[in-house]
Structure 1
Amino acid sequence: MTPTGETTGAAIERAAVVGSGYMGGGIAQMLALAGVDVALGDVDAERAEAARVRLIDEARRLEGAGLFDAGSAEVLSTRLRAATSVEDAVADVDYVTEAVFESRPVKTEALARISAAARPDTIIGSNTSAIPIGELAASVTLPERFLGVHWMNPAPFIPGVEIIPSESTREDAVLRVEELMRRAGKVPVRVADTPGFVANRLQFALYKEAVRIVEEGLAAPEQIDLIVSNAFGFRLALFGPFAIGDMAGLDVYAASYETLASVYGERLAAPDALLSVVGEGNLGLKSGGRGFLDIDPEKKDALVAYRDAAYRELDQLRKRLGPPPGL
């Protein structure tokens, strides 16, 4: 460690998770299974110990179901420890994940305690779902070692993790956390520090429109879920919206927005960037590969073949699994 608290770039070997509930517990499991020693910190030692026991027992059940690798529970029993306090958890670790309740006062208090007790070179990540990292950074001593590390629910099984630096976050801190996420089998994606980041801004925009459709009496929640999970949501399991649009044809999108805007107004009008791309004749694969993504035209046939095979596999998987219980 340097006198200013700068990190050396070494791999993260010891970590703490503050907040050992559902999300924090899943994060702790993944870090421990990635070979990191993890201290669990919570409101008291009893809560942390109960979480440790729960996470090991859960891993044992998941092993039995074939959802965790054999030996995972034994790894957790070796790698996880229950700390006597938040300060004890973070006292000598390389990295801390704050995973307390999604409340500004709760998070700011936790981050202040964490940063006061941790080493100056300890990287601190917040698992906030939507609060801007720059705002939370005001509660952190040495905020240059602080960033957002937003896991998706359920943490053991969803690959994506949003990495959100603030304006003051050091690049080496970001790189070390990205490397840790890859060790944990995750897909880290660096995004801008804005409310909701990317995942929840998109997710909540869809949810709001779905609720509006129910309010307008156009469809029931059950119908909407069936449409989403068996139509465009089915595609989203394999491709993002820009890849799907470029394969479908952006002129189709522009024309559809024109119809939507005639009824719903500006709320569902075509974005200017889409109209600009279409106006330039870049319609996606049908125009030689250029759209929002610069898809190589020579790979068009291979991409379409992959898409069709992947959709077939996904459809067969869903049929094997059967319908979700209770839905």
Structure 2
Amino acid sequence: MPVPGTGDGQAQNVPEDGAVQVAVVGAGRMGRGIAIAFAAVGSTVTLVDAKPRDAAGLATLRAAALAEIAADLAFLVDLGLIDPSGAGAALARVAFAGRDEARDALGSAAIVFEGVPETIAAKRDAFAFICAHAGPDCIIASTTSTIDPDELAPLITGPERFLNAHWLNPAYLMPLVELAPASGTAAPVVERLKQVLQAAGKVPIVCRNAPGYIVPRIQALAMNEAARIVEEGIASAEDVDLAVRTGFGLRFAVLGLLEFIDWGGGDILYHASHFLSDKIDAGRFAAPQVVARNMEGNRRGLRDGEGFYDYRGMDTDSYRAQRLGDFVALLRLRGLVPPFASGAAVT
């Protein structure tokens, strides 16, 4: 496994010829965010509503979707992330199509993202509609955060071109996209979608098609534990969130969770897990076997030269300095640097 932070998984610049034709079936918040993500970097996008609607209902949805996209682009202008002309050009690259208008958009798309509600019935209808019109070489990607891609692949004509692409909200700002191929997904399809996402400034990672993928699985545990702390009267909601914003979140914005284990030492997690298992709940806090195996093999992390990552042969002093420098930059951004240089005594 490579040392963290050495370039793997970093988003690339958008190439001059990197624009692709994209369609998004599902005109809700996720679909609108994906449309912005691609349109803002030069791709043409059609936002497709596949539900049967009357003319008035379709016109209302069209107006609402395009108004929200325009407002989000205006927000990016206010933040200085895109200039007004760029925002206008991005908006012009987004088209909206109802069910009866979508044939051409789906037929010419290189990639179609499905973003309908999280039910098999809704997915089945959407994929039947997509497969009826999309070209045979079109990549088809669901955006589900919960459903196993192998459950959805049989719904696709040509399932080798299908995989899951789990975006995080807001899709136009969050870099990460979790790619989960189905068992029969062709390897070139995964690689092509990775390239397209990287060209759009995203950071795609590939994981096995397991429930919860990576981020939803981790955040479900963290959010439930935060709620339990409030429920048990240990701290207020305000103080729990303050602890996350000024402690938990800051550290893990710089060090990944596994990297953090290596940084402090896997033995710390091992003993802390045993303590919490004994005092609170054995099921929730038991350490996985990999932590025990690493301890037994003297692979406790940075100080042993091995842990979840391999640090042998690297300049660990430079690595530490880089990570701490990134952490200080984040503290500065948040206005949280301690007053080291003030010379004033703490009273």
Q: Could you state the TM-score of these two structures normalised by the residue count of structure 1?
A: 0.88
Distance 1:41 1:48, change over 3 A: farther
Question: Could you tell me which residue of structure 2 aligns to residue 152 of structure 1?
Answer: 168
Out of 64, 67, 79, which is 2:93 matched to? Answer: 79
Alignment pair present for 1:127 and 2:143: yes
Distance 1:124 1:278 in 2: 43
Q: Is the 8 A contact 1:39 1:83 kept in 2?
A: yes
Question: Could you tell me which residue of structure 2 aligns to residue 100 of structure 1?
Answer: 116
Distance 1:50 1:213, change over 3 A: closer
1:21-40 equivalences under 5 Å are: 21-40=28-47
Percent identical pairs in the alignment equals: 36
Shift of 1:208: 1.8
Alignment pair present for 1:56 and 2:73: no
Distance 1:148 1:291 in 2: 30
Out of 233, 246, 249, which is 1:217 matched to? Answer: 233
User: Where do 4+ consecutive residues of structure 1 move more than 6 Å?
Assistant: none
1:195-214 equivalences under 5 Å are: 195-214=211-230
Shift of 1:135: 0.7
Alignment pair present for 1:184 and 2:175: no
Distance 1:205 1:57, change over 3 A: closer
Q: Is the 8 A contact 1:121 1:145 kept in 2?
A: yes
1:280-291 equivalences under 5 Å are: 280-287=297-304, 289-291=305-307
Q: Is the 8 A contact 1:11 1:176 kept in 2?
A: no
Out of 277, 288, 300, which is 1:271 matched to? Answer: 288
Q: Is there any run of 5+ residues in structure 2 with no aligned partner, and where?
A: 1-16, 337-347
Q: Is the 8 A contact 1:159 1:186 kept in 2?
A: yes
Distance 1:11 1:319, change over 3 A: closer
Shift of 1:35: 2.1
Shift of 1:38: 0.9
Shift of 1:297: 5.0
Shift of 1:172: 1.4
2:226 corresponds to which letter in structure 1?
A
Distance 1:30 1:170 in 2: 25
Shift of 1:131: 1.0
Residue-by-residue CA offset, 1:9-40 (whole Å, 9 max, x unaligned): x9772110111222111111111122221111
How big is the alpha-carbon RMSD for the aligned residues of Structure 1 and Structure 2?
2.0
Q: Is the 8 A contact 1:57 1:73 kept in 2?
A: no
Question: Could you tell me which residue of structure 2 aligns to residue 255 of structure 1?
Answer: 271
DSSP-derived class of the 1:237 partner:
helix
Q: Is there any run of 5+ residues in structure 1 with no aligned partner, and where?
A: 1-9, 321-327
Shift of 1:133: 0.8
Q: Is the 8 A contact 1:285 1:297 kept in 2?
A: no
Distance 1:222 1:297, change over 3 A: farther
DSSP-derived class of the 2:170 partner:
coil
Distance 2:140 2:204 in 1: 16
DSSP-derived class of the 2:254 partner:
coil
Distance 2:32 2:163 in 1: 20
Shift of 1:313: 1.0
Aligned length: 310
Shift of 1:57: 4.2
Question: Could you tell me which residue of structure 2 aligns to residue 3 of structure 1?
Answer: none
1:157 corresponds to which letter in structure 2?
L
Question: Could you tell me which residue of structure 1 aligns to residue 20 of structure 2?
Answer: 13
Higher mean C-alpha displacement, 60-69 vs 290-299? 60-69
Q: Is the 8 A contact 2:45 2:94 kept in 1?
A: yes
Q: Could you state the TM-score of these two structures normalised by the residue count of structure 2?
A: 0.84
Q: Is the 8 A contact 1:87 1:113 kept in 2?
A: no
Distance 1:176 1:71 in 2: 30
Choose between structure 1 and 2 for higher RCO, CA contacts under 8 A separated by at least 6 residues.
2
Q: Is the 8 A contact 1:19 1:100 kept in 2?
A: yes
Shift of 1:53: 4.2
Shift of 1:84: 3.5
DSSP-derived class of the 1:20 partner:
coil
Shift of 1:74: 2.4
Distance 1:48 1:89, change over 3 A: farther
Shift of 1:300: 1.1
Shift of 1:226: 1.6
Shift of 1:299: 2.1
Distance 2:83 2:166 in 1: 24
Distance 2:320 2:297 in 1: 24
DSSP-derived class of the 1:243 partner:
helix
Alignment pair present for 1:167 and 2:183: yes
Distance 2:142 2:249 in 1: 29
